[in-house]
Amino acid sequence: MTTYFTKEHEWLRVEGDIATVGITDYAQAQLGDVVFADVPEAGRTVSKGGEAAVVESVKAASDVYSPASGEVVEANAALADEPALVNTDPQGSGWFFKLKLSDVSELDGLMDEAAYTAFLATL
């Protein structure tokens, strides 16, 4: 199980060819209190770098980009009733969707945790 990060502050945790996607702790802190998360339905195809979800906070609405291409196999239904999970547990129960990866080699360009931490230090 490996976790990857993007410069757009999404994370992606890979188990086999299934990846779980969410936004990072840094992203939720920047957004402020999340009030709504629009996650893609199972069956939808997303492409790397394409818009996959929308997250809305008291300050702003932001697109969430898919860190990799594939088909959505599950959306986090819990976010509909409790969008606060994105704030309280962004890298755990606040996940957005699960993806069946279509091209595992797309993960090569993503950052690991150490590289992402170093990237945050430059912001």
Q: Which residues bind other proteins (CB under 8 A)?
A: 33, 35-36, 58-60, 83-84
Sign, CA dihedral 77-53-101-123, equals: negative
CB nearer to other proteins: give 36 or 120.
Answer: 36
User: Pick from 71, 85, 70, 114: which is nearest to 22 by CA?
Assistant: 85
Q: How far is the CB of 79 from other proteins (least distance, A)?
A: 11
CB nearer to other proteins: give 59 or 103.
Answer: 59
Q: Mapping DSSP to helix (H, G, I), strand (E, B) and coil, where does residue 48 land? A: coil
Contact 65, 94 (CB under 8 A): no
Contact 93, 81 (CB under 8 A): no
Q: How far is the CB of 87 from other proteins (least distance, A)?
A: 9
Q: How far is the CB of 29 from other proteins (least distance, A)?
A: 11
Q: How far is the CB of 62 from other proteins (least distance, A)?
A: 8
H or E element that contains 12: strand 10-15
CB nearer to other proteins: give 35 or 111.
Answer: 35
